[in-house]
Amino acid sequence: MFNPELFLSAFAVLFVIIDPPGCAPIFATLTQGTSKRHQRIMAFKSVSVAAGILFVFAFFGETIFHALGIDFSALRIAGGIMLFIIALQMVFEQRTESRETRAEETLEATDNPEDISVFPMGIPMIAGPGTIASLLLFMSNAEGTGDVATILAALGAVLLITLVSFLIAGWLMKLMGKTFTNVLTRVLGFLLAALAAQFILDGIKGALPGLL
């Protein structure tokens, strides 16, 4: 049976962790200069990839982690390192430079645009360590199929909001202008670097609780 209180609780937690409004500008920045069609494909594909990963972990995550001997601390550290690399590229505009280079080598830059759906948008921006850990926690406390369905419904609602945020992100960024988006790219890159550092610190704290 549907549990409204559980739905609101799961929705609130997952919404805060995934943070669709915060991910949208990052998505727009990473797809800047590509066609509208490519941006739509990346939006749907990013959310689809993340949804597939999260639903797999919802049902089999605990078994997978135990089988591989991996804990969430290692997951946080790995995700933080990958995210930090992306942050550096955004701060120094290496992504923009590489896109301009491809434009010179091809007739149309959008013929071979960068696929950011799996990494970093699908993982770790949407289906990150915090999202997976929170989802596993809710699923481990679920009682019966009603609770499971409620949690999955909350996850689906957050992912739908994320998709809508991605679809309108490019339009909003275009309204802001190139100068503003260039500044925003560096600011977001800095914030991503801080978020990546926090992921790594949380992982170290979890692995070595007496160190920090």
Q: What is the 3-state secondary structure (H, E, C) of 58-116?
A: HHHHHHHHHHHCCCHHHHHHHHHHHHHHHHHHHHCCHHHHHHHHHHHHCCCHHHCCCCC
Q: How far apart are CA 150 and CA 172, in angstroms?
A: 33
Q: How far apart are CA 211 and CA 51, in angstroms?
A: 35
Taking CA atoms, 118 is separated from 43, 45, 48, 103, 124, in Å, by 11, 8, 9, 23, 9
Q: 3-class SS at 130?
A: helix
Query: For residue 107, what pLDDT is reported?
Result: 34
Render each residue's pLDDT in the chain as its tens digit; 212 residues: 788 999 998 998 898 788 888 788 888 888 888 888 999 999 999 999 999 999 999 999 878 877 888 777 887 787 778 778 877 877 886 655 554 454 344 334 445 677 999 988 999 889 988 788 888 878 887 888 999 999 999 999 999 999 999 999 877 767 766 677 677 778 877 887 887 888 788 888 888 886 65
Query: For residue 149, what pLDDT is reported?
Result: 95
Hey, what's the torsion of the CAs at 17, 20, 24, 197, to 10 degrees?
0
Instruction: Determine contact, residues 126/47, Cβ cutoff 8 Å.
Output: yes
Q: How far apart are CA 99 and CA 59, in angstroms?
A: 39
Task: Name the residue among 118, 119, 114, 134 with its Cα closest to residue 19.
Answer: 134
Query: For residue 129, what pLDDT is reported?
Result: 80
Query: For residue 154, what pLDDT is reported?
Result: 96
Q: How far apart are CA 3 and CA 15, in angstroms?
A: 18
Query: For residue 151, what pLDDT is reported?
Result: 95
Query: For residue 106, what pLDDT is reported?
Result: 36
Return the ∠ at Cα 201 (arms to 199 and 204), rounded to 5°. 110
